[in-house]
Amino acid sequence: MHYSVRITETGKTPWKQDDFQVFNWEHLSFATLQEAKDALQARYSRTARSHRRKVYRETEAGPEHTGYIYRFRNADFSHSPVEWWIQEDWVEIVQVEEHTLVA
């Protein structure tokens, strides 16, 4: 068994009423839940910690908390003028059970 972290990165211009657009997906794998949490803490603690909302998945037993939406301001400093945008990363942690295939 391991844990899969699915990150969907979205962004939009800060001064327009545009919708958020997906620009990147990441799938990360960790042996333990604590490793996954530590990696997310390191990634988001400085940029978006104060702007996070819980994400829920509907299950038969009711809503289940599965992750967070992190919202922050981001920029591309590689050229001038600097381009700014609002970024929302949708982060979900999923427990994955491993199955052995028998031939």
* Higher-pLDDT residue of 76, 30: 30
Domain ranges of the chain: 2-96
- What is the pLDDT averaged over residues 1-29? 93
Residue 52 burial (CB < 10 Å; 0-12/13-18/19+)? middle
pLDDT at 32 over 60: yes
What's the pLDDT at 47? 67
Provide the CB-side half-sphere exposure for 26 (13 A, CA): 12
pTM: predicted TM-score of the whole model, two decimal places: 0.81
Give pLDDT tens digits for 39-88: 999 999 876 556 889 999 898 999 999 999 999 988 888 878 888 899 99
